[in-house]
Structure 1
Amino acid sequence: MHRFLISLTAAFAAALLAPTAGHTAAPNIVLIVADDLGWNDVGYHGGRVRTPRIDQLAFEGVELDRFYVCPVCSPTRSGLMTGRYPNRFGLHNDVIPPWRDFGLATDEQCLPQLLAAAGYDRRACIGKWHLGHSRRSYHPLSRGFTDFYGHLNGAIDYFTHLREGELDWHRGFDACRDEGYSTTLLADEAVRFIEASSSEKPYFVYLPFNAPHSPLQAEEDQLARFGFDPGKPRFGRNNNREGFGEQGRGNTKRQTYRAMVAALDESIGRVLDAVEATGDADNTLVWFLSDNGGTPQHGGNNKPLRGAKGSVWEGGVRVPSVIRWPAAIEGGRQFESLAAYVDVLPTLLAATGGGPTPKNEIDGANLLPMLADQAPAGQRSLYLGRRAVVTREWKLKGDELFHVSVDPNETADVAADHPEVVKELREDLARYEALTSDMQNLPYGAGHEGFVAPKNWNIERE
């Protein structure tokens, strides 16, 4: 079986950074990332959570039905920025916790650096970074962004913006004391950035929301929409192990989560409205995705897919994703071929009209020829980490094999029936895992004991 592996085939290599036929002007780019949004937590998947603005994006754009990410967020975010599998730089297995002196390797070339060379003068990171906070060399402003507003760590308090007892909310390198609900503040900033952008040159907005990741906190008006009764107890009031206060908790976790997703959806709608108001929505490429699957113990829902965040079952790594670019891609369709987080960088560079050639080998593919029906999707495999690899038909997870094209919920291990497929996928897996770096992020809890967060999460080291 011929398969897309580490090196691109000649056809893919020729198309990797090729512009889409019939389109010349580089688009504005808005890359929106939700945090821990489950497969069944968008309306267009039939979920009980209503997401009208995300649904609108799906109806107007192309739904990427087989879009894969990593099981947890820092690895996915690093792949978005580099187009490369994060085991190449030691980031595939875990996130970067507050007490860790580690970040995305500084010799990795990031998407905004490449877009700068393609003529994008304004490049904003607005939201959750989570790719290194201990050194200035890891900071978004050191990785090609011209603007940064948001937080460096994950799992901040939505209202106080604290992590480990210190303020983690920044404008540029400086602490920022803006008050408000973080989802709303991030949308406010994105709208301002879009409204201030010139029509003469394209802009890039990377908008990684921290919603609906825990801690579960929502504003009172959103909670009220989902039946919140202030006369009844709030969930977890006697079990505050996460160290966050009661502000924003509803009566149940699921109620609070649904309110958080509703706020996220409305914020995304405001950003889409700002794009529309510029008059250049047709030539604005909007890409929406979740960084990993949902967490049921924190309200997320991945049904009918098996598994959740932290696993390489489909529910942990197959996520909602939509791309909309009216000037170049016909919308209102579903793309059923494999796509992944590592495809974002080469696809966006191709959209610029060719873009600069990355200095490092890219693991992702330019999806534009396939999305524009100018090229067949071809065969490929994707590395999911944790001894797992997936193709359009099959998924190898450890020693188990699933025929995911006909059994997407992974109900039956068919390894014994298809030894030749197991053999081929093991060979693929071995090639991917041979890319692993000697430098590795440590397990999450390592180094936590005795850690004291720096004041306002100020970065002193270069």
Structure 2
Amino acid sequence: MKKYLSSIFIILSVPGFFLTESMAQSTKKPNIIIILVDDLGWGDVGYHGGNIPTPNIDRLAKQGIELNRFYTAAVCSPTRAGLLTGRYPDRFGLRKSVIPPWSDFGVSTDEVFLPELLKAAGYKNRAMLGKWHLGHVALKYHPLNRGFTHFYGHLNGAIDYFTHKREGELDWHNDYNSSYDVGYSTDLIADEAIKNIKSYQAQSPFFLYIAFNAPHGPLQAKAADLKRFGYDASKPVFANGGKEGYEGRGNTKQQTYAAMVNNLDENIGRILATLSNLKLDENTIVLFQSDNGPAPNEAGSSGILRGKKFTQWEGGVRVPAIIRWPNGFKGGWKSEQVTGFIDVLPTILAAAGVKQRPEKPLDGIDVLPVLQQKQSVINRNFFLGDGVLVNGEWKIFEKLEPNAGPKRASDLLYQIDKDSSEKNNVSAKYPDVFQDLKEKLAPFDAIKAPLEVAGFDVGKKGFVAPKEWKVAGFR
């Protein structure tokens, strides 16, 4: 008997023994990495049949779970806000517009952000890297006052990729300080992510929210990336609508955009390779998603889907999304669960074993049971804003949608599980379904926030940006 027990002890004590390593890994809280990209369309990734090479994103899709019915808001600030709060952005006045540089709006400090909840669960390091876009005029809106322990990136959207300026002033920061780092913003954000992973690994678990500004305009790519897509220096660069030119424009928008997306993919690959090399990938949740569909007139593709950014057509709000967590669930399959940006917070908290929830009720749901294949589907209605609701089978447009380009008729119903391109309005064929969904939509459309962000151009005239976008200057 002693000999038998001794043999077991020897086996279990061997360094790296598979059983003990797996058991140890399974008891640890997972590291969490959210990779949010900007204006990447459904048809811009290889695994959706896109023409731009995205081998690293495609590999992630094979390893993880394709979230085939993942929805966002139609523009970026609302998506970011909903992702970090688990609540529809309508509840705090941020659905129809982003937060422009001249706005004093910020997401209410009454809203609890994801990193605040992770802090209480033992996540010591919680970094926000890249594009913030949730408020910049007061320190109370700064990432370091919303639960993050580190911030590296820009407060506004649409910065110059090389100078890192917005409205003529440097918008690149390291915590509260200006950063004068030189380089292409996509590269710099990935560099910082890799640096943070290496630094934080000894104090796992950690949380990284990596919000790339690519491939959002202005369309700018590095010379080496442009050359891979046929750039010819002897030919002119694409016209910029009469505006002052930006560094990094290729011969065409399509060429420049492809170079940007390919560079983005390479940098995502660098981050994933770092996790693998450090043997952190098995117990790291990686969520990849776009914030909305591709911007009109900037070379992005919605693929088979109808519409683009600013609209509630599928191409504006249904985005490429993948989640991978080898220790938590099996990968290599495609989920048809209706899910989206508001579900990120409750699902991440459940995966991390975090019991605490905000006092205000969440709109998002925990979809972990579906990801773990313990439940086939969770039936739910998902509000897409402005009179639009979608569920597993149907999608209703109850009224005219502002900013949708060519006007469309109201009272639209699509059997969306069979008609993802939204070609056939079946409201006349299924009047009872339409009426039922209209009644379910009404409470969402009735949401009113005490304060709403003003229209994009309100306050623009005469605006002068603060020196290096110093937040303290607005106090």
TM-score (norm 1): 0.93
- How far does the alpha carbon of each residue in 1:300-351 deviate from its partner, in whole angstroms, 9 at most, with x for none? 0002100000000000000000000000110000001101100000011011
User: How far apart, CA to CA, are the structure 1 residues paired with 2:75 and 2:266?
Assistant: 25
User: How far apart, CA to CA, are the structure 2 residues paired with 1:236 and 1:138?
Assistant: 37
- How far does the alpha carbon of each residue in 1:164-219 deviate from its partner, in whole angstroms, 9 at most, with x for none? 00000000111111110000000000000001113343000000000000000000
Partner of 1:146: 149
Partner of 1:430: 442
1:50-449 alignment runs, 5 A limit: 50-236=53-239, 239-241=241-243, 243=244, 245-397=245-397, 398=399, 399-449=411-461
User: How far apart, CA to CA, are the structure 1 residues paired with 2:357 and 2:204?
Assistant: 21
User: How far apart, CA to CA, are the structure 2 residues paired with 1:445 and 1:298?
Assistant: 21
* Secondary structure, aligned partner of 1:186: helix
Identity of aligned residues (%): 52
* Secondary structure, aligned partner of 1:155: coil
Say if 1:401 and 1:422, in contact at 8 Å, map to a contact too.
Answer: yes
In the TM superposition, structure 1's runs of 4+ consecutive aligned residues that sit over 4 Å from their partners are: none
User: How far apart, CA to CA, are the structure 2 residues paired with 1:263 and 1:304?
Assistant: 24
Say if 1:24 and 1:353, in contact at 8 Å, map to a contact too.
Answer: no
The alpha carbon displacement at 1:407 in A equals: 0.7
Say if 1:115 and 1:355, in contact at 8 Å, map to a contact too.
Answer: no
User: How far apart, CA to CA, are the structure 1 residues paired with 2:232 and 2:76?
Assistant: 33
Range with greater deviation from structure 2 (374-383 or 337-346): 374-383
Partner of 1:12: none
Partner of 2:466: 454
Q: Highest Rg: 1 or 2?
A: 2
User: How far apart, CA to CA, are the structure 1 residues paired with 2:439 and 2:121?
Assistant: 37
The code of the aligned residue for 1:372 comes to Q
* Secondary structure, aligned partner of 1:31: strand
Say if 2:337 and 2:370, in contact at 8 Å, map to a contact too.
Answer: no
Runs of at least 5 residues in structure 2 that lack an aligned partner in the other structure: 1-24, 400-410
Say if 1:25 and 1:353, in contact at 8 Å, map to a contact too.
Answer: no
Range with greater deviation from structure 2 (191-200 or 288-297): 191-200
- How far does the alpha carbon of each residue in 1:129-188 deviate from its partner, in whole angstroms, 9 at most, with x for none? 000011111110010000000000000000000100000000011111111000000000
The code of the aligned residue for 1:74 comes to S
Higher relative contact order (CA 8 A, sep 6+): 1
User: Closer, same or farther in 2 for the Cα pair 1:23/1:357, shift >3 Å?
Assistant: farther
Give the CA RMSD over aligned residues.
Answer: 1.2
* Secondary structure, aligned partner of 2:186: helix
- How far does the alpha carbon of each residue in 1:111-136 deviate from its partner, in whole angstroms, 9 at most, with x for none? 00000011000000000000001111
Range with greater deviation from structure 2 (193-202 or 293-302): 193-202
Say if 1:33 and 1:207, in contact at 8 Å, map to a contact too.
Answer: yes
Equivalenced residues, count: 438
Say if 2:118 and 2:354, in contact at 8 Å, map to a contact too.
Answer: no
The alpha carbon displacement at 1:275 in A equals: 1.0
Say if 1:67 and 1:318, in contact at 8 Å, map to a contact too.
Answer: yes
The code of the aligned residue for 1:84 comes to R
User: How far apart, CA to CA, are the structure 1 residues paired with 2:49 and 2:293?
Assistant: 16
User: How far apart, CA to CA, are the structure 2 residues paired with 1:311 and 1:198?
Assistant: 41
The code of the aligned residue for 2:98 comes to V
Range with greater deviation from structure 2 (376-385 or 332-341): 376-385
* Secondary structure, aligned partner of 1:350: helix
Runs of at least 5 residues in structure 1 that lack an aligned partner in the other structure: 1-21
User: How far apart, CA to CA, are the structure 2 residues paired with 1:41 and 1:136?
Assistant: 36
- How far does the alpha carbon of each residue in 1:224-278 deviate from its partner, in whole angstroms, 9 at most, with x for none? 01000000000015x343x4x3310000001000000001000100110111122
